[in-house]
Amino acid sequence: MNINRRVLLGSLALGATGVVPALAQDSKGLIVIITPSHDNPFFKAEADGADARARELGYETLILVHDDDANKQSELFDLAIARGAKAIILDNAGAEASVAPIQRAKDAGIPSFLIDREITQSGIAVSQIVSNNYQGAQLGAEEFVRLMGEEGEYVELLGKESDTNAGIRSAGYHDIIDQYPGLTMVAQQTANWSQTEAYAVMESMLQANPGIKGVISGNDTMAMGAWAALEAAGRTDVIVVGFDGSNDVRDSILAGGIKATVLQPAYAIAQMAVDQAHRYLTEGTTGLEEKQLVDCVLITPENASRLETFSLAS
């Protein structure tokens, strides 16, 4: 497989046409798509976006999930290598733990194209395309401040500590919110991106701080958990702002529940990754910097109806 590809690339590089092997006519080869569990629709949207584009471009696909387990991810990389994948599209299971398997694939001649989450090193993956979480968090925080009327007590739900995105979103939130002396954070706790955990955390935070006026959440699943706890406690007056742009939160926004979220264009980012993989495989380069930031979009009642599966219709 690899030899064939090199021959193909070599002949293209020499400008020889008409000698392309029959290989290209059937399938362009296998693209392996690895993400966290599809239980979170965000990751399913990534897999769907990558799968659709890869098939359009003539590749076979193999869709796998690592369940945020670095050992499982490592095994999936071995599988991709054994299957002779042309490229791997990955939303990884840990910024540090993912470096070794991606290097292993690289050594086997298989380029990796990362989406959503970064790894701690550059020069191993070909592309790392991530949402501009900092810009997105600032958008969400500006809307949160506006909704809060620039004053009152609030709590923050943090994502999983091992995930860079949890830290960067919190930093982006506070860069804005901390400018307003009238806003006071009375509790800040992780719910590990989990809806059920967020429900429990919200219940206890609400008991300890009944005076809160708002909740800013590191992602939408936690925002959904928090909103359910607030509803159960009869506190639908509390302002909740999330991050991701899920259909669940979209529906809640349209129903007057959660007030806002920030869309990460997961579907489009996954498609960009496949496009870059294709360009790399056919031209030998993506023509782009390895690490790329893609802007997020604020979702409010005004535009929520145009949101579907992590993609905003224009």
**Residue 184 Cβ vs another protein, minimum distance, rounded to whole Å:** 15
Tell me how long the chain is: 314
Member of 175, 231, 283, 302 binding another protein (CB under 8 A): 175
- Match 């809160």 to its residue by tokens: 212
Is 135 a binder of another protein (CB under 8 A)?
A: yes
Q: For residue 40, which phi and psi values (nearest 5 degrees)?
A: -90, 115
Q: What is the DSSP string of 33-46?
A: EEES-TTSHHHHHH
Nearer to another protein, 65 or 102 (CB): 102
Taking CB under 8 A as the criterion, the residue among 4, 71, 122, 209 binding another protein is 122
CA distance 84 to 79: 9
Q: Find, among 209, 228, 207, the residue nearest to 154 by Cα.
A: 209
Q: Minimum CB separation from another protein for residue 134, in Å? A: 4
Among 100, 167, 235, 279, binds another protein (CB under 8 A): 167
Counting beta carbons within 10 angstroms of the beta carbon of residue 203, is it exposed (0 to 12), middle (13 to 18) or buried (19 or more)?
middle
* Angle, CA of 86, 18 and 108, to the nearest 5°: 20
Does the protein bind another protein through residue 291 (CB under 8 A)? yes
Residues 76-105 that bind another protein (CB under 8 A): 95
- Candidates 2, 37, 120, 196: give the one binding another protein (CB under 8 A): 120
Q: Which of 207, 227, 208 is nearest to 217 (CA)?
A: 227
DSSP 8-state symbol, 182: T
One-letter amino acid identity for 299?
I
Does 293 bind another protein (CB under 8 A)? Our answer is yes
Nearest approach in angstroms of CB 6 to another protein is: 25
Residue 138 binds to another protein (criterion: CB under 8 A): yes
Applying CB under 8 A, the span of 8-16, 48-56, 58-66, 168-176 interacting with another protein comes to 168-176
Q: Which residues bind another protein (CB under 8 A)?
A: 95, 118, 120, 122, 128-130, 132-135, 138, 164-165, 167-168, 171-172, 175-176, 179, 287-295
